[in-house]
Structure 1
Amino acid sequence: MDRKVSWIRRKDLHVLTTGNLLYTTDVRFRMLHLAGSPYWTLEVASPTLDDAGVYECQVSTQPKIYQRFYLNIIVPKAEITGTQQLFMKAGSNINITCLVTGAVRGTLIKWYHILSRPRNGVSVIELNIGDRGGVQLVTDKNRGSSWLLVSNASWKDAGNYTCAPEYSQPASITVHILNEETPAAMQHDLQPSSEGRKSILPLYHLTAIFSMLNIISIFLLEGRTWTLISQSELMRTLVCLTCLLSCLIWNSWSTCIPRLWNSVEEISISLIDLLC
């Protein structure tokens, strides 16, 4: 009686092959076996991450014998050294280095320049075959590295540069071309304005205001009977303090000085009327 060898994918218990027969519609799987040979090899062409897992080689004996194998899929990936944003002056040279890990020797590495313009839309240029002068590509397929040099860069050279090795995860970098005025404008946008720095309210100013509010709240908690006039003075005091606090929070301290003197006069009169 002939003993049949089957290959089973354990994660879904799918019988892939039995003998030389294939029981899957996935054409990437096939059985490699020579007549009279004791070796039954399951081949998976162009494996993906979904193919990772346990596969079982099973022989139809009684009892059955089997051997399990774990298939680990390593996805090669590209990595561009440095940061993901590159700021260059017009006329300078763009130098980008791409390193590929996990790929087999001789892997083809392609470079793409993706440029987006409001009027022209998105254009993709393969630099390996592009006709743009001043572009140099040096690739070491054995070490899995590639070096891109763009000489005398202009605004047309700005955009996304992608290093795309074959059957690997690509890597990208965004290049910005700056003229003489752009750095100063960028620096101005990053620095806070002088008015913004003045608007920071010192802690002791807030402490004084909240202390005055606290004094008024103490009188309220004592349950003192207020006349209609006292209630009116109290409301005026609270309104003055609220306006002063809002001014200090949203404006600079110097802007609030005129309001401060008016508020102090109003608050003093109100507190004297309340306490006397």
Structure 2
Amino acid sequence: MFEVSLAACAMLLLCGEAGASSCPGEQSQSQGSHRVLRPQSALTSFRPEEQNNTEVVAQVGSTARIRCYTHFLGNALVTWTKSDEEFLLTVGERIYTSEPRYFISHVRHQKLWELSIRSVRASDAGAYECQVTSHPLAAIYFFLRVVEARAVVPDGGALHSHAGVQLRLPCRVDQATEPVSHFFWYHNGTGINFSKTRSLTIVTHGYCSYVVIENVTWADSGVYTCAPLRARPANLTLHVLQDEQRSALYNGRGEGGFAAAASVLPPVPPTWLLVACLVGARPSC
């Protein structure tokens, strides 16, 4: 749903090319016959029939918020049930389940009853009913779709480079419903986000992250793990080549595409330029 190409991720460090793209989260609200309910004040004017069959999307580990507006139904009480399992969740502002992940919020001036589900699991997917005790009774159905975000790395998880060049190891997140707040990087099982012994920089923005190795050495070879918060991690193996291996790749006898590209990467812009880029533009990744 929120896929971003790795080529688009490369635009992060190129200020002039990043500004025209839109962010992955700014997708159309149309989802087949359903709508993705978004937290906008304009929704308070929705009639019950306009909210019915709304689809809400949440990723595993996040908080799902299902909003039921009763603007045209007076001050009637609301009950929430997981209707496909006939499981009563709330009556008014009281929780009727022992599951501690459920919360109810009533914003009176907006006629809003919001059901929140924290630390969402795949099993939470399904139909939820907001039943309003008006006369006659009104029932508004919502469908929660749960997705699992996952890290994605290029070229089947294997990169080739030679020593002495600057190299970027990219990682993006697919199926995320919100920008990723933290990317954790590991080299051969050891965390490198705050390493003071390595000549590298980690750049993170939105749905993408890079490890920038300033000067590749033999010590940089090995397995890099990209582990975004609330997403399935992915491994990327870096092979640092000897001269004869590099020659074989350039002559078409190996996987030379990425090795050649790695040797001609443009230099990383200074910190002040990167900050100016992020402030002045909204890159696609």
* Shorter-chain TM-score tier: 0.5 to 0.7
Match of 2:151 in 1: 78
Q: Distance in 1 between matches of 2:131 and 2:103?
A: 16
Tell me what 1:95 maps to.
168
Q: Which amino acid aligns with 1:47?
A: V
- Equivalent of 2:183, from 89, 109, 115? 109
Question: Residue 6 of structure 1 contacts residue 16 of structure 1 at CA under 8 Å; is this kept in 2?
Answer: yes
Distance verdict in 2 for CA 1:103–1:164, change over 3 Å:
farther
Q: Report SS of the residue matched to 1:40.
A: strand
Q: Could you tell me how far apart the structure 2 residues matched to 1:17 and 1:9 are? A: 10
Unaligned residue ranges in structure 2 (runs of 5+):
1-74, 254-285
Aligned pairs (5 A) from 1:193-232: none
Contact 2:151–2:228 (CA<8 Å) still a contact in 1?
yes
Residues 121-175 of structure 1: CA deviation (Å, up to 9, x unaligned): xxx222210123311222223xx22221224434432222122222223222112
**Residues in 2 aligned to 1:35 and 1:180: alpha-carbon distance in whole angstroms:** 71
Structure 2 match to 1:25 = 98
Structure 1 residue aligned with 2:192 = 127
Aligned equivalents of 2:132, 2:171: Cα separation in 1:
47
| Bigger Cα Rg | 1
SS at structure 1 position matched to 2:146: coil
CA separation of 1:86 and 1:106: change in aligned 2, threshold 3 A: closer
Amino acid at match of 2:168: N
Residue number in structure 2 paired with 1:46: 119
Percent identity at matched positions?
A: 30
Matched, 1:149 2:212: yes
- Structure 1 runs not aligned, ≥5 long: 116-123, 191-276
Question: 1:180: Cα distance to partner?
Answer: 5.0
1: CA distance, partners of 2:95 / 2:241: 60
Question: Could you tell me how far apart the structure 1 residues matched to 2:195 and 2:179 are?
Answer: 25
* C-alpha displacement of 1:61: 5.1
TM-score, length-scaled by structure 2 = 0.52
Superposition map of 1:195-274 within 5 A: none
Conservation of the 8 A alpha-carbon contact between 1:109 and 1:139: yes
Give the aligned CA root-mean-square deviation in angstroms: 3.2
Which amino acid counterpart does residue 157 of structure 1 have in structure 2?
D
Per-residue deviation at 1:182?
Answer: 6.7
For the Cα contact (< 8 Å) 1:81–1:99, is it kept in 2?
no
Q: 1:15 to 1:129 in 2, by over 3 A?
A: same
Aligned-pair CA distance for 1:76 = 3.1
Q: Secondary structure at the match of 1:73?
A: strand
Q: 1:145 to 1:37 in 2, by over 3 A?
A: closer
For 1:172 and 1:162, the matched residues in 2 are separated by 4
Give the conservation status (yes or no) of the 8 Å contact 2:152–2:173. Answer: yes
Q: Does 1:161 align with 2:227?
A: no
Q: CA deviation at 1:57?
A: 0.9
Q: Note the alpha carbon deviations across 1:54-98, whole angstroms, 9 max, x for none.
A: 100113456532111111224333222333112333444442112
Deviation at 1:7, TM superposition (A): 0.5
**Other structure's SS at 2:155 match:** coil
Higher helix share: 1
Cα distance change of structure 1 residues 93 and 3 upon mapping to structure 2, 3 Å threshold: closer
Match in the other structure for 1:4: 77
